[in-house]
Chains A and B, each alone.
Chain A
Amino acid sequence: MLISLNWLKEYVDIPVDVETLADRLTLAGSEVERITQQDVDFEGVVVAEVKSLRPLPGSTKNRIASVTTGRAVTEVVTGAWNLAVGDRVPYAVPGSRLNDRRIDTKTFLGVPSAGMLCSAIELGLGADAAGILILGPGATPGQDLHELYPRDTILELEIKSNRPDLLCHLGLAREVGAIFNLTLREPKIPKTRTTDAPDLVRIDSPDGCRRFVGRLIRGVSVGSSPPWLQARLRAAGVRPISNIVDITNYVMLETGQPMHGFDYQRLKDGRIVVRRARDGEELACLDGKTRRLTSRDMVVADSERAQGVAGIIGGTESAVQQGTTDVFLEAATWEPRSIRRTARTLGLRTEASSRFEKGLSPALSLPAVERAAALVVELAGGTATTSTDVYPVPLRPITIELSADRIERVLGVRVELTDAASILERLRFKVERADSLLRAQPPDFRLDCSIPEDLVEEVGRIYGYDRVPSTLPGARTPVRDLYERRDADETAREVLAGRELNEALTSSLVSSDGTPEIAMPVAAPLLVRIKNPMAENRDALRRSLLPGLLEALALNVRQDQGGARLFELGSVFWKAKATAVEEPQVLAIAAHIPTGGAEAAASELRSLQATLATVRDRFAIPSTDFKQAEFPSLNPGRFAGFHPGRAGEILEEGDPIGIVGEVHPEVLAQLGLPGRAVVAEVLFDRFSAGGQRTPQARPLPRFPGVRRDLTVVIRSKTAGHDIVQVIRRLGGYTLREISMVSEYQGPQLGAGARSLSFRLQYQADDRTLTNEEVSALQQRIIEGLKERFGAEVRS
């Protein structure tokens, strides 16, 4: 919202400089985002009247204008085509100055041009460069332009959506008056008789229109509006068009009520009907587009056709134009939701619609019409008839009670009731005192106050939040299940960062057809679609973190950052039922192997398993196992996206909760990711379900333990996990630790064979183990492995 300081000063004397004014408005809730001085810097520019126009010989573009400033007539060459004889225009005489530019007599094609005629942009009076600034009849030839266009300061405000009453100069003047406790000079609006003449205005859809006020003025002459009015419109960012249109805009910027003027002669049967559009009804709008409407849209129509989209835009057919003699002024109050819906469907936001959407008070309509009618008669002539006011359900004033205790209970500061009453009165509330209460009736232009808290806000923001003390809530609440989940997150992060993994956050929104098929096997098979995506490649919610992390690896490769290792802890979205979406927390890891070697990838895979095991060991999980994924023959779909020989499921008590494996070459190719990549994804809530593990100390061994090595040679696809199970079972209770120390597969063993070396730690709490005892156990293990796996075992 642009506010002209000059305009504001017409209603109120501002006792402070503009910076202080801006600060105080901001503190009270209307943020001043910018203060600009109008860039007006000229000297010696006066009003001239165009006496005649003739072509400049030899030019197709320029003309010679004879102009007078009241005495002599001079000739000026001009390229503008919006001039007509009789127009009053700004004239920079020879010797005058526009900013840094000195204006002299110049010669065009042999014709001397004494100075120049100026456009609005050349004078710094607006962005309008379309032609010479036409000043209108109020300008007197010879008059200094500074008298017509006093230098102005423009405040750019962000008005909160609950205060549409502040979207105008009068409203803001009231606010300034309340802040500084000032008296206002409001424009005098002549009161006239009104009728509800149903033969002229009829509301067929009262659910969309709370009030409709109209007034017919006959015998006007359409022309340009006077300089003072144009100056104000330009300061507020509105381009002058013609006196009638300018007046409707002026009244809106003054009172906040959007208006429209119709050419009454063009309204069929001279009637106004407020109704819903017929489905498919078309209307040529003022912006040059024809719109097709539906029965959800409100229109202002004549007896036959829609003449305007209610509260949004007028139609061309009945628009006021040169030659219009009878004007019908409209100031209506539209139902905000209906306006918003129509504006959204039409994709058309106008100054009027954005005001109506916020909910304007119907109390504004009548005075706006009266004000505009008076201005029309003054500036465009004509005779006003009686106003028509259709107002089916008038606004009923409400009364809100407020006590000083209430204020203190909400704000935490004692504001005496007399002070509160004074603030509310300054804001135009009607206030009655009754014992320890006050009863306040909001002014009719405000619809945003209905409960005591609303009054407290009014008191608080004018009283000043800077005067509210700073306290902290009293007793601390007992901490309930504080940070349980966070601890798990943070514990995992600590481990993962220690393993040189960088934390990534990737977008929840993914592409429904470009996303590679890779996810943990328990993930929901289908993506949850977005109904109204902003981009095609962001039209669904992710069901796995893996595609995003792999894309991030590819992005890093493109940035010459091969070998990136990333992890992410985040939500995925699984469609549970038709109407519900589950959001499991997932931990995913992805590491890039730039060399692409099979060995390197296998070793990175082992490292990834070790990382997961490290995270797992920080939680008190009953048991998590890794199991070789059996595929592709058994489960082609379940492990889509994974290397057929390098994927393992993560199990919690037999339940699959995740996967770890190498990415299938096809997925890498789809992503344009060179080299190889290994990934893991696990349901984090299940993985960390046991919560933080509290370490439990055990007595240190009192007797020495015995360490033995064992190398097992097996057929290559025998699961190492099964071997460990057998060793553990046969080793009995003195076998305390089994760790795999090396793994070999190669020419020395021959094809299809693989060797695994384990280190076994035996220990008893009550005695020193003898060699014989341990050797017997080892022998039992060796025989067991031979029998079960046909393994060749060396110890």
Chain B
Amino acid sequence: MTEGVAGQLEKLRASARERVESATDQKALEELRVTLLGKKGELTSVLRQLGSLPAGERAAVGAEANQLKDDVFRWIAERMGGLEAKRHTALGDTEWVDMSFVPDPIRRGHLHPLTLILREVKAIFSRLGYEVALGPQVEDEFHNFEALNIPAEHPARDTMDSFYVEADDLLLRTHTSPVQIRYMQSHEPPIRIIAPGAVYRRDATDPSHGSQFYQFEGLVVDHDIRLSDLKGTIEYFARSLFGPDRRIRIVGDHFPFTEPSIGAAVSCGICGGAGCRSCKGGWLEILGAGMVHPQVLRNGSIDPGQYSGFAFGAGLDRLAMLKYNVSDLRLFLESDVRFLKQF
């Protein structure tokens, strides 16, 4: 009987060892663990016979049995590890996915490039404390022209040929500058606004002109505003929009509603300022500006003796064309989705 239990243990050791070694996958090994060590397993049933052994033998055979149990545990764990490592090695073949193939990006709607450029412009000026002011697109002659020192038959009207609507003296605004007047009339300084929007001129349509286009206007009125403030603002704006390495050039200019008047150009990003087909001698004109004319301040009910201000205006379409490399202004109003989806 004694011989029997010890012998069974010995036989089990040999067979267990062999069966563990020959298991070829983790599932089989798991089943083997149950077969050998489970509640109804082979080793367990051998152990159950320990009670029938004489007390003197029980300890030795018991130790032997426990040793076998530990060994089987270890063998299974080792074999398990070996199989796992093998599986890992094989993953490159068994679970291969073609990662060179990239599916289309998740579809989304695209915002209009003029929305995107306006967002950038607003973000830049909001960092400087500007707010957004809006004005009507159907304007009267006073706000669009007269209050801006452009009386009837003034030569400046040549460049701003207007669409008149059926109501008397109403026209489609030719620039965003009338918002200056409206805002000054309804707000006390300090004033710091940008005013974006559509403007209309009776210009023939070509790649860089259209009868409907987009501008934004800036106006700052406060005590002690100087041209140096305007210059610093233009530089901050242009570098924020086009990059810190751009140079900015300020030249003399003329607008009836500013005195002095200046023009601003940014160095060309294509040729770096050397001069190329896309620019004028290395410079890209981006905006017109100046110190608000004292009469314009008065027209806006602001005392030029107490306050001074600067104003600037730029074409949003032009900025978008420069920044996003758009070659034809007409694309902005065509709503061709092949164009819109590029933004």
Contacts and interface: CB of A to CB of B under 8 A. Distances in A.
A and B: interacting chains = yes
A337 interface: yes
A453 B220 CA distance: 17
A529 B128 CA distance: 40
Interface in B195-222: 198, 200, 202, 204, 211-212, 220, 222
Contacts of A348: none
Given A486-B132, A500-B107, A583-B138, A453 B340 contact: no
A704 interface: no
A559 B340 CA distance: 13
Interface string A461-480: 10001101111111111011
B180 interface: no
A39 interface: no
Interface string B235-256: 1100000000000011111101
From A162, A457, A507, A528, residue with most partner B Cβ within 10 Å: A457
B108 interface: yes
B108 A473 contact: no
Nearest to A560: B338
B261 interface: yes
A631 B225 CA distance: 61
A696 to B, nearest CB: 27
Nearest to B290: A457
A491 to B, nearest CB: 13
B138 to A, nearest CB: 4
Given A472-B233, A476-B128, A498-B108, A555 B334 contact: yes
A413 interface: yes
Contacts of A530: 163-166, 172
B112 interface: yes
A473 B233 contact: yes
B227 A357 contact: no
Contact of B137 (A162, A490, A538, A571): A571
Contacts of B79: none
A563 to B, nearest CB: 9
B183 to A, nearest CB: 11
Interface string B73-104: 00000000000000000000000000000000
A555 B260 contact: no
B109 A503 contact: yes
Given A336-B153, A472-B229, A581 B170 contact: yes
B278 interface: no
Contact of B229 (A471, A476, A501, A533): A471
B212 A476 contact: no
Contact of A502 (B110, B158, B251): B110
Interface string B95-134: 0000000000001111110110001001000101101101
Contacts of B114: 505
Contacts of A575: 167
B107 A472 contact: no
Interface string B250-268: 1111101001111000000
Interface string A435-476: 000000000000000010110110011000110111111111
B131 A479 contact: yes
A508 B111 contact: no
B293 interface: yes
A556 interface: yes
A669 to B, nearest CB: 21
A534 B335 contact: no
A469 B138 contact: no
B14 interface: no
Nearest to A349: B158
B142 interface: no
Given A461-B260, A561-B336, A482 B293 contact: no
From A341, A357, A477, A496, residue with most partner B Cβ within 10 Å: A477
A26 B250 CA distance: 10
Interface in A79-98: none
B333 A451 contact: no
Contacts of B249: 27, 466
B56 interface: no
A506 B335 contact: yes
A552 B231 contact: no
Contact of A29 (B253, B256, B334): B253
A502 B259 contact: no
Contacts of B233: 472-473
B133 to A, nearest CB: 10
A207 to B, nearest CB: 13
A410 B164 contact: no
Given A29-B253, A29-B254, A509-B211, A470 B228 contact: yes
Nearest to B224: A409
B212 A501 contact: no
A31 interface: yes
Contacts of B170: 579, 581
Given A470-B231, A472-B233, A503 B340 contact: yes
A148 interface: no
A595 interface: no
Given A28-B252, A579-B168, A483 B340 contact: no
A412 B227 contact: yes
B7 interface: no
B137 A485 contact: no
A22 B2 CA distance: 118
B335 A161 contact: no
B19 interface: no
B242 to A, nearest CB: 16
B202 A534 contact: yes
A573 interface: yes
B152 A337 contact: yes
Contacts of B232: 469-472
B122 to A, nearest CB: 7
A538 B212 CA distance: 11
B337 A160 contact: no
Nearest to A476: B129
A579 B109 CA distance: 40
B21 to A, nearest CB: 54
A552 B232 CA distance: 42
A329 B333 CA distance: 54
A486 B233 CA distance: 22
B334 to A, nearest CB: 7
Nearest to B189: A477
A33 B227 contact: no
Contacts of A700: none
A786 interface: no
Interface in A298-352: 336-337, 340-341
A508 B212 CA distance: 8
A787 interface: no
Nearest to B107: A500
A466 B340 CA distance: 40
Contacts of B272: none
A358 interface: yes
Interface in B38-59: none
29 contacts: A33-B280, A163-B254, A412-B229, A412-B231, A460-B227, A465-B231, A468-B231, A469-B232, A471-B231, A473-B192, A476-B192, A483-B126, A483-B132, A486-B132, A497-B108, A497-B111, A503-B112, A504-B112, A505-B332, A508-B137, A530-B172, A532-B163, A541-B172, A556-B336, A561-B337, A565-B109, A566-B340, A575-B167, A579-B170
**What 5 A-B pairs are tightest by C-beta distance, nearest first?**
A29-B252, A412-B228, A412-B226, A457-B260, A552-B335
Interface of A: 26-31, 33, 160-163, 336-337, 340-341, 357-359, 408-413, 451, 453-454, 456-457, 460-461, 465-466, 468-477, 479-483, 485-486, 490, 493, 496-509, 528-534, 538, 541, 548-549, 552, 555-556, 559, 561, 564-567, 571, 573, 575, 578-581, 583
Given A453-B260, A548-B335, A581-B136, 7 more contacts: A409-B308, A410-B226, A453-B291, A461-B252, A482-B132, A571-B137, A579-B167
